[in-house]
Amino acid sequence: MIFRRRRQSSGLNGGFLHFRDSTNRVVNGPADGEYIHLRDEFGNEWRGVAERQPDDTIRFRFRSSNGDFITGVSDGYGVILRDQKGNTWRGFLD
């Protein structure tokens, strides 16, 4: 039987993420590899992952403790997310 090694890091190297929507609500927090922990200005926690896709984009998925979710992609220059209500969040990795 042949085993292949799985890539160690399939997402981000790490850093601090900042997101802002059209009404200037802010969500930010640290990213440690592919696991991300964000917090908004109301104290809600968002946990998520970043997965590198074959075309070198990074796909983000976040879920709050309330059951809300935000998903989106990054092309290396910025991040665009959309929540379940259709609001667009733009951000970057610092």
For the stretch 15-47, pLDDT in tens is: 898 999 989 999 999 988 778 999 988 888 999
DSSP bridge partners of 62: 48, 70
For the stretch 48-57, pLDDT in tens is: 998 888 888 8
Query: Is residue 15 within 8 Å of 92, Cβ to Cβ?
Result: no
End-to-end CA distance of the chain: 43
| Residue boundaries of the structural domains of the chain | 15-93
Task: Judge whether residue 10 has pLDDT over 60.
Answer: no
From the list 14, 44, 16, 23, the residue with the least C-alpha distance to 89 is 23
The pLDDT, as a whole number, for residue 56 is 84
Name every residue whose Cβ is closer than 8 Å to that of residue 83 and which is 6 or more positions away in sequence: 21, 68, 69, 70, 89
